[in-house]
């Protein structure tokens, strides 16, 4: 597809380094100019992770905008085709090519894919980036859940894990996949079994997943993952039936990052969970919306979205 002086096409293996460089540059420029904080201090070698993960997960791929004159990749975005929906991944446009409709063209390409499949589209976007919000809002995306990004300085010894007697937290196992899917369907109405399998199998050596069991019910009440890499240290994705279970897996995953400063997105609709995060020393850094184009989901428990991969 051609639009004036650039073309939008499917991302290819030869785009890997160019996409990594674009993600590093575009994201760093926005955060530095708007929030005064640097991003991706390890450079574009670290942001190659985005291409690698989004092409390793089942149903994931990307699109790029390429300048007709120079052949340079000037825009990129990832998409995740799931059994229940399509998730929109990280989107970037080269700062020198702003205001040329590139982000809109990338978005329309992915929305077109979702429409052809008859699936809704979901994403998580910054509430502080009004240009981003407007881009999605104009395309019919509606916010349905609000999250506060909180950074934790995890003590070297970790946090004490104090659980109600009926709960037990442990590392996730492959045999938990059916129970994880049943839990996710009940809480958020979505399915992404390939994602959870990837996180538990952990082929890159960067993922961790905890589950919470209820002795009374003999079933899972929460699941939460996290990632640690030079490009990102985040808690999520995850979900829970209740705040006690959510807090349990949150502490368990924070303790996988002793001495580090991971970020987690906490659902504002659950003040008890947010209060527990403050008690752990969490500090707010940003606000994000979960948004949907199509059917707006009903959530039946706390959820933890993330950006690696950016999937709700």
Q: What's the CATH number where 161 sits?
A: 3.40.630.30
Q: Which of 119, 134, 166 is the last residue of a domain?
A: 119
- Where are any strands of DSSP class E within 31-136? 60-67, 73-81, 86-93, 121-126
Enumerate residues 6+ apart whose C-beta is below 8 A from 130.
none
> Is the domain of 107 the same as that of 181?
no
- CA 274 to CA 265: how far, in whole Å? 10
Task: Reply yes or no on whether the pLDDT at 218 is more than 80.
Answer: no
**Pseudo-torsion of CA 270, 274, 275, 281, nearest 10°?**
170
Say whether pLDDT at 3 is over 60.
Answer: no
- Containing domain of residue 41, as a range? 2-119
pLDDT > 50? residue 2: no
Residue 141 is assigned to a structural domain of this protein: no
Same domain, 63 and 211: no
User: Do the domain assignments include residue 128?
Assistant: no
pTM here? 0.93
Give the model's pLDDT for residue 165: 73
Tell which wins on pLDDT, 133 or 150: 150
User: According to the model, what pLDDT value does residue 270 have?
Assistant: 98
Residue 41 lies in a domain: yes
Residues 77 and 179 in one domain: no
How far apart, in Å, are the Cα atoms of 255 and each of 27, 69, 144? 28, 50, 30
In whole numbers, what is the pLDDT of the chain averaged over residues?
A: 93
Q: Is residue 139 part of a domain?
A: no
Question: Same domain, yes or no, for 22 and 156?
Answer: no
Tens digits of per-residue pLDDT, 21-80? Answer: 999 999 999 888 877 887 888 899 999 999 999 999 999 999 999 999 999 999 999 999
d(Cα 28, Cα 42) in Å, to the nearest integer? 11
Asked if residue 198 and residue 82 are part of one domain, the reply reads no
Cβ-count burial 185-210 (b if 16+ within 10 Å, e if not): eebbebebebbbebbbeeeeebbbbb
- Say if residue 153 is in the same domain as residue 115: no
- Same domain as 245, residue 153: yes
Q: Tell me, yes or no, whether 289 and 160 share the same domain.
A: yes
Question: Rounded mean pLDDT of 89-106?
Answer: 94
Tell whether 14 and 102 lie within a shared domain: yes
**pLDDT reported for residue 1:** 47
Q: Are strands 73-81 and 2-3 parallel, antiparallel or unpaired?
A: unpaired
Query: What's the confidence (pLDDT) of residue 32?
Result: 87
pLDDT of 4 higher than 60 = yes
Looking at the structure, tell me whether residues 100 and 177 fall in a common domain.
Answer: no
- Are both 114 and 166 inside the same structural domain? no
Number of domains in the chain: 2
Q: Are 230 and 192 in contact (CB under 8 A)?
A: no
pLDDT value for 311: 64
State whether 13 and 115 are in the same domain: yes
Q: Are 200 and 176 in contact (CB under 8 A)?
A: yes
Helix (H) or strand (E) holding 209: strand 207-214
- CA-nearest of 54, 1, 50 to 22 is 50
Among 75, 102, 119, the domain-final residue is 119
pLDDT at 273 over 70: yes
């Amino acid at each position: 597809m051609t639009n004036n002086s650039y073309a939008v096409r499917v991302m290819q293996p030869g785009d890997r380094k160019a996409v990594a460089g674009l993600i590093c540059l575009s994201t760093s420029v926005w955060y530095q100019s708007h929030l005064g904080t640097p991003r991706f201090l390890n450079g574009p070698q670290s942001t190659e992770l985005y291409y690698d993960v989004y092409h390793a997960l089942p149903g994931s791929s990307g699109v790029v905008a390429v300048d007709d004159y120079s052949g340079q990749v000037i825009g990129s975005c990832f998409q995740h085709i799931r059994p229940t929906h399509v998730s929109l991944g990280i989107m970037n446009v080269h700062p020198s090519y702003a205001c040329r409709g590139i982000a809109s063209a990338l978005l329309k390409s992915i929305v077109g894919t979702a429409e052809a499949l008859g699936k809704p589209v979901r994403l998580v976007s910054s509430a502080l980036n009004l240009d981003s919000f407007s881009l999605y809002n104009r395309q019919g995306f509606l916010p349905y859940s609000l999250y506060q990004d909180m950074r934790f300085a995890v003590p070297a010894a970790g946090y004490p894990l104090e659980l109600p007697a009926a709960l037990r937290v442990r590392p996730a196992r492959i045999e938990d996949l059916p129970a994880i899917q049943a839990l996710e369907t009940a809480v958020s109405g979505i399915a992404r079994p390939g994602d959870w399998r990837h996180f538990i199998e952990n082929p890159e050596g960067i993922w961790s997943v905890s589950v919470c069991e209820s002795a009374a019910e003999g079933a899972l009440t929460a699941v939460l993952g996290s990632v640690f890499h030079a490009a990102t240290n985040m808690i999520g994705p995850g979900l829970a039936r209740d705040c006690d279970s959510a807090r349990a897996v949150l502490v368990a995953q924070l303790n996988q990052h002793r001495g580090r400063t991971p970020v987690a997105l906490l659902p504002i609709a659950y003040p008890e969970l947010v209060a527990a995060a403050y008690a752990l020393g969490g500090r707010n850094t940003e606000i994000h919306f979960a948004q949907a184009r199509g059917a707006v989901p009903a959530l039946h428990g706390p959820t933890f979205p993330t950006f690696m991969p950016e999937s709700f």
